[in-house]
Amino acid sequence: MTISLIIPCFNEEKNIPFLLSRCKEAFDKKEIEVILVDNGSSDNTQVVLTKLLPNYPFVKVVRIENNQGYGNGILTGLKASSSEYLAWTHADLQTDPGDLLEGLKMLKEISNPEKLFLKGKRFGRPLTDNIFTIGMSLFESILLKTKMWDINAQPTIFHKSFFNSWKNPPNDFSLDLFAYFMAKECDLNIKRFNVRFDRRLYGKSHWNISFKEKLKFIKRTLSYSFELKKKVQNNA
């Protein structure tokens, strides 16, 4: 069983050394490939990666010249993988990349892992973020008429055949919603496991910078949610 972990990186020059070190500690000499996607960074992310990469032979870097969204970075990494199973998480270390090992263990314990869709379930988050998650989860569950919870939690893990079935996935943060919802539509066996959510080591979250940025995130998510519902109705 082989698996690729996709990690999009946008202006993460200070986090990259810690991220690579943690990946080596967790994954070295295991059946895991790490694909770091430099998602159009304007800082020294590319320089740091070029300098450090020789020390991490299990890591591959894909460079996107112009940032076209969080989802596009992940999709680019997924396409670059030749592994049987695929996964993604974030570069900021708010969730440990080593959480993938729990998912890998779950894949190996089931008789038909290709039908499994695994996703983390966060704990340890600030109260305001939990309130936002509860609100969005309830909204999506009502709108899409299926239970959706902690949609943006990581890691997300699945068989490559599921990825190959996707049509027109979004290029922004709505990719998490799309993948989760499509797993339900495809009747995959969805399993969640607890992951601790910590503070960022360096930099700021690209959605949590200000109240204005949160509103923009919510607006984009709501817009895509209605678009997704329309697609479902048209295919019914």
Which residues of the chain form beta strands (DSSP E)?
3-9, 32-39, 59-64, 85-88, 116-123, 156-159, 189-196
Could you tell me if 73 and 8 are in contact, meaning their C-beta atoms sit under 8 angstroms apart? yes
Tell whether the model's pLDDT for residue 205 goes beyond 60: no
Rounded to a whole number of angstroms, the CA Rg of the chain reads 17
**What pLDDT is recorded for position 197?**
84
**pLDDT tier at 56 (50, 70, 90 boundaries)?**
very high
- Helix (H) or strand (E) holding 156, with range, is strand 156-159
**What pLDDT is recorded for position 124?**
83
Tell whether the model's pLDDT for residue 128 goes beyond 90: no
Average pLDDT over residues 166-191: 95
**pLDDT tier at 77 (50, 70, 90 boundaries)?**
very high
* Predicted model pTM: 0.91
**What pLDDT is recorded for position 118?**
98
Token pair, residue 194, equals 């607890």
**What pLDDT is recorded for position 139?**
93
Query: What is the C-alpha to C-alpha distance for residues 66 and 56, in angstroms, rounded to an integer?
Result: 25
Tell whether the model's pLDDT for residue 17 goes beyond 60: yes
Average pLDDT over residues 3-7: 97
Percent of the chain with pLDDT over 70: 94
Comparing CA positions, the residue from 123, 121, 118, 93 lying closest to residue 105 is 118
**pLDDT tier at 203 (50, 70, 90 boundaries)?**
low
**What pLDDT is recorded for position 198?**
78
3-126+151-204: CATH superfamily? Spore Coat Polysaccharide Biosynthesis Protein SpsA; Chain A (3.90.550.10)
Token pair, residue 56, equals 């991490």
Question: Domain ranges in the chain?
Answer: 3-126+151-204
**pLDDT tier at 206 (50, 70, 90 boundaries)?**
low
Average pLDDT over residues 184-192: 96
Q: Which letter does DSSP use for residue 2 in this model?
A: -
Tell whether the model's pLDDT for residue 164 goes beyond 70: yes
Tell whether the model's pLDDT for residue 67 goes beyond 60: yes
Task: Please give the distance of CA 111 from its chain centroid, rounded to a whole number.
Answer: 25
**pLDDT tier at 65 (50, 70, 90 boundaries)?**
very high
Plot region of 95 (φ>0 → left; ψ -120 to 50 → alpha; else → beta): beta
**What pLDDT is recorded for position 127?**
87
Amino acid identity of residue 119, one-letter, is K
Q: What is the DSSP string of 185-231?
A: HTT-EEEEEEEE----SSS--SSSS-HHHHHHHHHHHHHHHHHHHHH
Question: What is the overall mean pLDDT for the chain?
Answer: 90
Tell whether the model's pLDDT for residue 208 goes beyond 60: no
